[in-house]
Structure 1
Amino acid sequence: MSSSAFPMPTAQLVALYMQCIFYGIDLITVAYGLRVLLWTRDGHFKGRTRITWIMVGTTIAMFTIATLEVALGLVHNLQAFIYYAGPGGPTVVFEDLSSWLNIVHTSDYVIQTFIGDGIMVYRCYVVYDRNWKVVLLPVLLWLTETVCGCVGVSIEATLHTSATLNEARLVPYITTILSLTLAMTTMTTGLIVYRIMQVNNSVASHDITRVGGNLRLTRVVRILVESGLMYTTSVVVFFGTFLASNNAQYGVSEVVVQLIPISFTLILIRADQAAANETSTLQQTSTTIHWNSGPVRLPVHAGVDGKASDRTRVAGSGTAISGSDAYMMDDMGPGSDGWHLELDSVV
C-alpha cells in the first residue's frame, strides 16, 4: 500500500487505535508481572530483601513510557483534528517533525528500546556468570544504537520542516538503529539459548532426566525464544514499512513501544507459572527442583571425611555430578535474584 493510499491522518488514527489495544494488554501483563515480583504465590508480600528492585524499577519505567506514548498519541490527534484550523489540515500537524510532540514520540521509542535491549544484554551477562567478554559485542551494538537514536532525535529537533520519518537526513540513523536492534536481540537471545541448552545437556548426560524429563530448561528456552520473537518480529515489520516509506510505520512503531514491556513481563509471568507447575509435579519425587532465590547450580555437598566435596550424587543412582558442572542463571525472573533452579539431592 502506498503512502497516497494510506494518508498521514488515517495512519495516525490507526496508530492510536493499535497502541490502545496493545496498551490494554500492557496493563494486564505489567500488573501481573508486578504481582510476581512483589508477592509470593500465596499472597504474602516478599519483603524488601527478597525483591529484585532492578526488575521492579525496569518494569515501572517501561510501563510509564508506554503510558506516556498513549497520552501523547491522544494529544497529537486532538491537536491535528480538533484544535488546528489552519491550511493543510491535520497532515501539517503530523508532519511537523520538529514539534515537541514528534520529538517526544521519537525519544520514547529510543528510551524504550534502550531499556528493553539493555535488559536483554544484562540477562545474557548473568547467564554467562557475569563474563563481560561474552557480552562485549552486544554491549557495543546496544550503545551504538542508543547513540544513533540520540543523534536522530537531535536532527529531528532541528529540521523545522514538513517531512516524515523518511526524511533524507534521518534515514541513515533510523536504518542503523533498526539494523543494530535486530542484530543485538538475535545475538543475545541466541547466546542465552545456547548457554541454557549447555546446562540441559550437562544435566541430561548425568542421568538426572529420570526425575521428570529434560524438559525443564528446554521450557525456559521456549519462554525466552517466544517472548524474544514477538519483539523481534515487530521490529522487522517496522523496518519493512520504514524501508517501503509506508505510513503504516507509525502504527507499527507505536506497537513496538507497547510490546517491549509486554514481552519483558511475559517472561516473568511464564517463569512463575512454570515454577508453580514444577513445584506441584516434583513434590512426589525423591529429587526436588525448587524455583527459588538461589542460582542455577548443582550443589556441592560435604564428603565422607567432612570436607567439601566437588561431586553431588543423585539419590538412588550411581551418578555423580562434578562441581565444574555448576551453572548459574541469575537475575532472569521473579525471585530475589531472578530465575533460579536448584537441584538438591535427597538421601
Structure 2
Amino acid sequence: MSLSLSEAQLLGNWFETLTYGMYLVTCCFCARTLLCIGPEDRWRRPSEIRWFIFSVGITLFVVATFDVVIGLLHNLQAFAFYTGGGGAAQELSDISGWINMARTVAQVIQMILGDFVLANIQMLYCLLPPLESPNTLFNSIFRGFAMAIMLIKAQASLKHEKTTMNSSDIRPWSETLFCITAVQNALTTGLLIWRIWRVEREIEKLRANTSGKTNNQPFRKVIRVIAESGFAYTLMVFLTFVINVCKSNLIYPFANSTLQATGIAFNVIIMRTSPSRDEQFTVFAANGHSVAENGAPTRLRFRSHITELPADIDDDRHQHL
C-alpha cells in the first residue's frame, strides 16, 4: 500500500486516538487495582500502594497523552496554519523539528520504560531459577537504549533537511530498536511459558504416580494469561519492524499505535493481578505446591495479593512491588 506523507500522518493520528481510547479504558481498571483493595474496594493506605508500579503507570499515561496532543498539534500546523510553499508535506517532513523530535523521544521513552517494567513484572510474579538469569534481559534493554540514543542523534543531525522516518540515515537505528524490542518480549514471554509448562509436567508425572489422576491442569490457565498479555504488544512491535524494513509510510500509524499498545499491555498485566485473579492463582499455586512438597523439584511460586504475600518470598523482591 502506497501512502503519501500527509495521508500517513493523518492515518497515524486517527489510529493513535483510537488506541488511546482503549488505553484510557484500561487505565480506569488499572487505577482501581492499584488504589483500592478488598471486596469492599476501600482506598489503600499509603503504605499499601505499590508506588513503583503506580509511578510507572503515571509516567506511561503522561507520555501517551503528550504524544496524542502534539500529534494533533502537528496536523493542525501542517493542514490549518502552514502557509508556506510545498503544502502540508513540507511542514510534516521537517524531521529535525521540535515536534518530530519530541514524538521520537516519546516513542523511545514509552518502549524502553514499558519493556523494562513489563519484563520485571512478569519475572517477579514467577520466581525463575538461575538458569533464566535476568542479565540477558537487562543487556538487551541496554542495547535498545543505545539504539534509541543513536536514533535520536541521527534524527537531530538532519537539520533543515526535508525527509521522513524512512530516511537511510534514520532507518537502520529504528529498525534495530524495533527488532531488539520484539525479540526481547518474545524471549521473556517464551521463557516464562516454557518454565511453567515444565513445572506442570513434573507435577503431573508425580500426581500420576501417587493418585493416578492427570486430568487436572491448573497451570495451563496461567500459561494462557502470560501468553495473552505479551502476544499483542510483541505482535505490534514486530509489525512495526516489518513495515520499517519495507520503507513504507505505514510506519507512522503503526508506530503511533505501538506507543499506545505499551501502556495497554502494562495495564492489562496489572489488572490481572487484581484480588479476584490472585485468589484464582493462589488456588492454582496451592494445588501445585501441595504436590511439590511430596517430592517435585520446583522453584516456581505465584504471588498472591499484596496483603497476602507468602512468607518465603525474599523481602528484597517484595520491595520491588
Question: What are the within-5 Å matches in structure 2 for residues 197-346 of structure 1?
Answer: 197-207=197-207, 213-215=216-218, 217-272=219-274, 275=277, 278=280, 289=282, 320-322=293-295, 325-330=298-303, 335-336=305-306
What's the CA shift for 1:79? Answer: 0.7
The CA distance in 1 between the partners of 2:120 and 2:131, in whole Å, is 10
The whole-number CA distance in structure 1 between the counterparts of 2:122 and 2:264 is 19
Deviation at 1:220, TM superposition (A): 2.1
Question: What amino acid is aligned across from residue 39 of structure 1 in structure 2?
Answer: C
The 3 A distance-change label for structure 1 pair 36 and 205 is: farther
CA distance in 1, matches of 2:40, 2:164: 51
What one-letter code is carried by the residue in structure 1 that aligns with 2:8?
A
Structure number with larger C-alpha Rg: 1
CA displacement, residues 163-189 of structure 1 (integer Å, 9 cap, x when unaligned): 111111112211111111111111111
**SS of the residue 1:159 aligns to:** coil
Whether the 8 Å contact between 2:111 and 2:262 is mirrored in structure 1 is yes
Secondary structure of the 1:165 match is coil
Q: Which whole-Å CA distance do the structure 2 matches of 1:212 and 1:63 have between them?
A: 43
Q: Is the 8 A contact 1:65 1:108 kept in 2?
A: yes
Q: Deviations over 1:253-276 (max 9, x none)?
A: 000000011012112223437627
Structure 2: runs of 5 or more not aligned: 313-321
Residues 61-100 of structure 1 aligned to structure 2 (within 5 Å): 61-100=59-98
In structure 1, the gaps of 5 or more residues are 280-288, 300-311, 343-347
Query: Residue 53 of structure 1 corresponds to which residue in structure 2?
Result: 51
Larger RCO: 1 or 2 (CA < 8 Å, sep 6+): 2
2:152 is aligned to 153
Aligned-residue Cα RMSD (Å) equals 3.2
Letter paired with 1:147: A
When residues 256 and 340 of structure 1 are mapped into structure 2, their CA distance, relative to the original with a 3 A threshold, is: farther
Question: Which residue is 1:120 aligned to?
Answer: 118
Distance in 1 between the 2:121 and 2:74 partners? 36
Range that drifts further, 239-248 or 102-111: 239-248
Partners of 2:119 and 2:188 within 8 A in 1:
yes
Q: What is the CA distance between 1:86 and its match in structure 2?
A: 0.1
Amino acid corresponding to residue 63 of structure 1 in structure 2: F
**Structure with the bigger percentage of helix:** 2
Conservation of the 8 A alpha-carbon contact between 2:278 and 2:305? no
With the length of structure 1 as denominator, give the TM-score of the two structures.
Answer: 0.78
Contact 1:121 1:139 survives alignment (8 Å) = no
Distance 2:33 2:106 in 1: 26
Question: Residue type of the partner of 2:294?
Answer: I
Match of 1:111 in 2: 109
Distance 1:201 1:95 in 2: 55
The 1:132/1:324 distance shift into structure 2, 3 A limit, reads closer
Aligned length: 306
**How much identity, in percent, do the aligned residues show?**
24
TM-score by length of 2: 0.84
**Take 1:62 and 1:256, find their aligned partners in 2: how far apart are those partners?**
13
1:144 aligned onto 2:143: yes
- In the alignment, does 2:193 pair up with 1:196? no
Contact persistence 1:97–1:163 (CA under 8 A) = yes
Structure 1 residues 337, 55: closer, same or farther in 2, change over 3 A? farther
Query: Given the superposition, is the C-alpha separation of residues 83 and 132 from structure 1 closer, same or farther in structure 2, using an over 3 Å criterion?
Result: farther
Instruction: Tell me the amino acid that sits aligned with residue 143 of structure 1.
Output: F
The answer to whether the Cα contact below 8 Å between 1:290 and 1:341 also exists between their aligned partners in 2 is no
